Amino acid sequence: MNLDTMTILENVKKGSLSTEEALLLLKQKPFYDIGYAKVDLHRRTRQGVPEVIYGAGKTASQIKGILKVMTENGEGRVLITRLSEDVATEISGEHPITYYKEAKIGIQGELPEPDGMGKIVIATGGTSDIPVAEEAALTAAYLGNEVTRLYDVGVAGLHRLLSHTEEIMQASVIIAIAGMEGALASVIGGLSDCPVIAVPTSVGYGASFEGLSALLSMLNSCASGVTVVNIDNGFGAAYTASMINHPRR
């Protein structure tokens, strides 16, 4: 339940808002139909986080229309994922967004102060996994989490990961991102006492099958406490990690 809904209920309790007025506020249009999109205006009420715009496949005009509706309905901070640089440039003429090229993420508004119960550690097997990791890191920051990045700590040089055991032991949640054979998730899972979310990436040579090998390796991890999201899905991993780091948000 989000703050807006809680405020309505508190005002009813205090007598400054009638039950009829509160019911009207809660029943206001749950979505806004703009033809090519039905913008979910009750997402924050249901899930605690407003709708996130998936930018891939959308035109600049479509994204601007969705942003306009969200802004007019009180959403000052909006996350856009899988956003190309060209579309981001066109959007920014009407909607001031900060664009993060490596992560292909656009954010309207300022990042919040972290309010999670701990830190989310994001580790990658190699430098080639960083774009997916940055999508995860920025999503986690947008959702109010403190993020620690451990990049290029894959199993080909295990001493690199072991030099960060303190960060691993102190994490609230760990996101392990790797391509090739995807072994990083199992190693981290065997070192930590917190949930590990594994993200297979499409990095690797032919037999990696664009991330399928890493996905299957992570699904077959022998380390307890490892769960897996889809290939290259840094956003999904970070969203789940944030839910763990914000119990009953």
Tell the burial category of 53 from Cβ atoms under 10 Å away from its Cβ (0-12, 13-18, 19+): buried
What residue spans define the domains of the chain? 29-108, 119-245
Angle between helices 184-191 and 212-219 (to 10 degrees): 30
Cα separation values, 185 from 61, 140, 243, Å = 40, 19, 20
Q: What is the largest CA-CA distance in the chain?
A: 66
Question: d(Cα 130, Cα 133) in Å, to the nearest integer?
Answer: 5
Predicted structure pTM score:
0.88
Look up residue 201 and give its amino acid.
Answer: T
Question: d(Cα 161, Cα 11) in Å, to the nearest integer?
Answer: 51
Question: d(Cα 10, Cα 234) in Å, to the nearest integer?
Answer: 37
Question: For every one of its 249 residues, what pLDDT tens digit does the chain have, with 9 covering 90 and above?
Answer: 444 677 778 888 888 888 888 777 776 667 878 899 989 888 887 788 889 999 999 999 999 999 999 998 888 899 999 999 999 999 998 899 999 999 999 999 999 999 999 999 999 999 999 999 999 999 999 999 999 999 999 998 999 999 999 999 999 999 999 999 999 999 999 999 999 999 999 999 999 999 999 999 999 999 999 999 999 999 999 999 999 999 875
Q: Which residues, in sequence order, are CB contacts of 98 under 8 Å at separation 6+? A: 106, 107, 108
**Strand, helix or coil at 101?**
coil
Provide the CATH number for the domain formed by 119-245 in this structure: 3.40.50.1970
